[in-house]
Amino acid sequence: MSRMLNQGLRLLLFFAGIFAAAGGCAGVPTPPSQTATSPPAPGTDSRVVPASATEPIASSPADSTAAGKPAEDDQGDDGFELSDLAPENLWKNAKEAAGLGPNEEAARTSLEEGKALYQEKKYSGAADKFKAAAKRWPESVLEEDAQFLLAESYFFADRYPDAQDGYDNLLTKYDNSRYLDTAVKRLFGIGQYWEKLEQANPHWPVTPNFIDKERPWFDTFGNALKCYETVRLKDPTGPLADDSVMATANAYFRHGRFEDAAFHYDTLRTEYPNSEHQAKAHLLGLQAKLEVYQGASYDRTPLDEADKIAKQALTQFPAELGGDRQRVAETRDKIIEQQAERDWTMAQYYDNKKQFGAARFYYGELIREYPLSQTARKARQRLEAIRDRPDNPPSRVKWLTDLFPEDD
């Protein structure tokens, strides 16, 4: 009798949850053994092609054989506790009361149904089955399979925002997922599609999208960058990690965000020394640094870093630079002139104030550091002109200072 009363109390408390509970049977087919063709390297194709243009292999996925069983809580305890009113327990108990709690058999059945729909390319219906299967047998290999196939279904249904969420959820919950390689390829492809879509039809980040299921609700460009970031963070040593960094840098460069672009080119140059993008990262990183530099009156760090990049490019990539080698050499000469101009500006400041000692120091430093520059020639001429001038100008209040003897 007590058991029945407790169950009745729970049903009363969770009545709203019972009617809100949605369910469905689903069973988990193993995902296809092959994936869509890898996305092209950044910058090789400007066409806007759907990320799911390549169809999946229609082979029968293998069944999961290592599905784990979720732990069962409160076995043999029919009493009511305040913890039952916690939001997560409220929903959990509501589903159990409605017969929608963990059930491996129901999950497998649903996934078998989802597999059949998936093979028939009825991706929207398959997604519903996979979603239900993941909920019916959580914390298991079966759930991992279902979550991956859910994302795959969204991907091939061209519902890319849902697919992005699906792959993100999979890689967040299962860091070492068996589907890591495929998931990052999909995310990279989605990122490239969104970036090209935004280039072809740009929108303000806050412009809402209520119609196109291929695009996010807001900020297509920002979500493309998020895809690239996920690829790098979740698979930092994978084959697409350097591609994602380069794609991010190029995207920022095209949008005129040169400081962000320079940062990511630096990341690729330092963290991925064997990347095929090294030569281009040096070239574009050099240009980005020069765009960041604001002139002789501002911080010289970007200019010095640009000089370092130019020197490395000429030393390490003489063949890869090809026709750009001459341009890089000329750019480095201009950088040296700009560096010399900074010292010239400082020397002129003291020269104009007739503080010739300080002026001679900076003219000398300029000549020593940049002896072959055009500015060094001017510095030599000016240094000769002020050679015999006093280090400091005469005091205009000497008559006043003479009234007070110096302290020994």
Give, for all 408 residues of the chain, the pLDDT tens digit.
444 444 444 544 444 443 433 333 333 334 333 344 443 444 445 567 677 765 454 443 444 434 444 444 444 445 556 665 666 556 555 555 555 568 999 999 999 999 999 999 999 999 999 999 999 999 999 999 999 999 999 999 999 999 999 999 999 999 889 999 999 999 999 999 999 999 998 889 889 988 899 999 999 999 999 999 999 999 999 999 999 999 999 999 999 999 999 999 999 999 999 999 999 999 999 999 999 999 888 899 999 999 999 999 999 999 988 889 999 999 999 999 999 999 999 999 999 999 999 999 999 999 999 999 999 999 999 999 998 888 887 656 555 555 666 665
Among 157, 173, 204, which residue terminates a domain?
157
| Distance between CA atoms of residues 221 and 240, nearest Å | 19
Among 98, 128, 157, which residue terminates a domain?
157
Q: How many structural domains comprise the chain?
A: 2
CA nearest neighbour of 47 among 193, 187, 247: 193
pLDDT of residue 71: 42
pLDDT of residue 312: 95
Spatial neighbors of 96 by CB under 8 A, at least 6 apart, are none
Range of the domain at 346: 328-395
Q: Around 236, how many Cα atoms within 13 Å sit in the side-chain half-sphere?
A: 5
The answer to whether residue 4 is domain-embedded is no
Exposed e or buried b per residue across 199-229, where buried means at least 16 C-beta atoms within 10 angstroms of its C-beta = eeeeeeeeeeeeeeebbbeebbbebbbbbbe
The answer to whether residue 1 is domain-embedded is no
Among 99, 128, 157, which residue terminates a domain?
157
Q: Which two tokens stand for residue 69?
A: 């069983």
The answer to whether residue 299 is domain-embedded is no
pLDDT of residue 15: 46
The answer to whether residue 343 is domain-embedded is yes
The answer to whether residue 388 is domain-embedded is yes
The answer to whether residue 217 is domain-embedded is no
Full-model pTM:
0.74
The answer to whether residue 152 is domain-embedded is yes
